[in-house]
Amino acid sequence: MRLLSWTLATLVGVVCVVGVCAAPSGPADKPAGAEPPKAVENLLAGRFAWQMSEVVVAPEDRPTDPCHSVKDPSMVFHGKRWHLFATNRSKKRSHLIEYLSFTDWKQANTAKRHILKASDGYFCAPQVFFFEPQKKWYLICQASDESWKPKYGAAFATTTDIAAPASWSKLKPLGAKPAGKKAGLDFWIICDDKKAHLFFTTLDGRMWREETTLAKFPHGWSEPELAIRGDIFEASHTYTLKGMGKYLTVIEAQGGRGWRYFKAYLADRLEGPWKPLAAAKDKTFASMANVRHPKQRWTDSISHGELLRAGCDQRLEVDPANLRFLFQGVLDKDRRGKGYGRIPWRLGLLELTEAQEQ
């Protein structure tokens, strides 16, 4: 009965107040490799195996402001188009957010780029979702402004038209509270039926959670509580597993010498507790150990990425039978000798294949 209810839920799709935002079935609009029951069985057992695409988005070649990297992606499918937001590292500005839109991932790298004007200074690591109670799109990011107190922290902008990059409001502080003396980074919001939950990491093996009511959102955040402690680093992203009554957190870890990979944790409530699902170096969510490369290998790391969602609203639902992951990657030889801001990160897609017993 539970499997039947899950199957029905995944077939229904999600409709936002502003239009259909259910994502197509795959990166190239094709069915995923694993059948639903087996895919869910593998997920709950922490068994993941992936096929990697070629590079789908590379840094833009701008003669007046050379780009070093495109990274930290967040995207939704709305109005029959993908809407992708990412951090852009360039020669003139160290951190800014760019937007591009396309109907097929094969078109992504040639889509027109737009630098958002929500801030004239430092802003990066975007997250985008539609907040149904207010009928607004939200952009969450980390930003810095000399007029803010404190000047650095979580920030937000809003619009009623995600397809109009010039329509975003100016960034405002979210009012998130620091974890002790650590302000955190890679801020991430997900909502249940009553509350909004803000997650972030502090680069010391800890992930934190704050909450506020849906009525007070985007303000009114509680004091931070420890959510996960372990061998984790940054880029924690939390999702609702559609039709399963469970939540999935994926979070980046370090493997040494700059190597990055992702771990996964599972919970019945956003308040936790979070149980390790694929959270060891020999049992990962996504790493060089469980990824099959394309013919021309282009990365040695699986770094800051986001799962492609089954909807576009604040619940951040993903289809447990069809997990797809957009991530940043780079070859070791291409990053060697470069400062972090000059590493040539590019974006690629992972699509689930049939995982083997572990």
pLDDT tens for each residue of 136-188: 999 999 999 999 999 999 999 999 999 999 999 999 999 999 999 899 999 99
Query: For tokens 């689930």, what's the residue?
Result: 352
In this prediction, residues 306-334 reach a mean pLDDT of: 97
Residues 349 and 56: beta-carbon distance below 8 Å: yes
Chain centroid to CA 78: 16
Q: Which residue has the higher pLDDT, 140 or 27?
A: 140
Residue 62 banded pLDDT, cuts 50, 70, 90: confident
Pairing outcome for strands 152-159 and 172-173? antiparallel
Q: Are strands 195-201 and 246-256 parallel, antiparallel or unpaired?
A: unpaired
Going by pLDDT thresholds of 50, 70 and 90, the confidence category of residue 328 is very high
* Helix ranges, the chain (H): 2-12, 36-44, 332-335
For the cut 80, the answer to whether the pLDDT of residue 50 exceeds it is: yes
Q: Does pLDDT of 18 surpass 80?
A: no
Beta bridge partners of 252: 234, 262
What is 24-51 written as a DSSP string?
Answer: PSSTTS---SS-HHHHHHHHHTT---EE
Distance CA 166, CA 213 (A): 29
278 pLDDT more than 50: yes
pLDDT band at 20 (very low <50, low <70, confident <90, very high): low
- Phi then psi dihedrals of residue 332, to 5 deg: -55, -40
How large is the C-alpha radius of gyration of the chain?
19
pLDDT over 90 percentage in the chain:
81
Backbone angles phi, psi at 26, to 5 degrees: -160, 170
Contact 20, 132 (CB under 8 A): no
Report pLDDT for 3: 40
- Amino acid in the structure at residue 341: G
- Using one digit for the tens of pLDDT, what is the confidence trace for 110-135? 999 999 999 999 999 999 999 999 99
Strand 50-57 relative to strand 291-292: parallel, antiparallel, unpaired? parallel
Q: Check pLDDT > 70 for residue 12.
A: no
What is the spatial distance between Cα 235 and Cα 230, in angstroms, rounded to a whole number?
Answer: 14
Distance CA 139, CA 286 (A): 26
pLDDT in tens, 85-115: 999 998 888 899 999 999 999 999 999 999 9
DSSP 8-state class, residue 135: T
Give the pLDDT of residue 7. Answer: 38
Q: Report the C-alpha gap between 284 and 282 in whole angstroms.
A: 6
| 69 φ/ψ sector (left φ>0, alpha ψ -120 to 50, else beta) | beta
How much is the pLDDT for 92? 82
* pLDDT number for residue 26: 47
pLDDT number for residue 28: 41
Tokens 């302000």 correspond to what residue? 183
Q: Could you tell me the domains of the chain?
A: 2-352 (2.115.10.20)
Q: How far is CA 272 from the centre of its chain?
A: 20
Residue 4 has pLDDT above 50, yes or no: no
Burial of 213 (0-12, 13-18, 19+ CB in 10 A): exposed
List phi, psi (to 5°) of 132: -55, -45
Q: What is the pLDDT of residue 212?
A: 98
Percent of the chain with pLDDT over 70: 89
Question: What is the per-residue pLDDT for 259?
Answer: 85
Mean predicted lDDT score pLDDT of the chain: 90
* Least confident range of 59-68, 141-150, 325-334: 59-68
CA distance 207 to 200: 6
Amino acid at site 226? L
CB 159 within 8 A of CB 167: yes
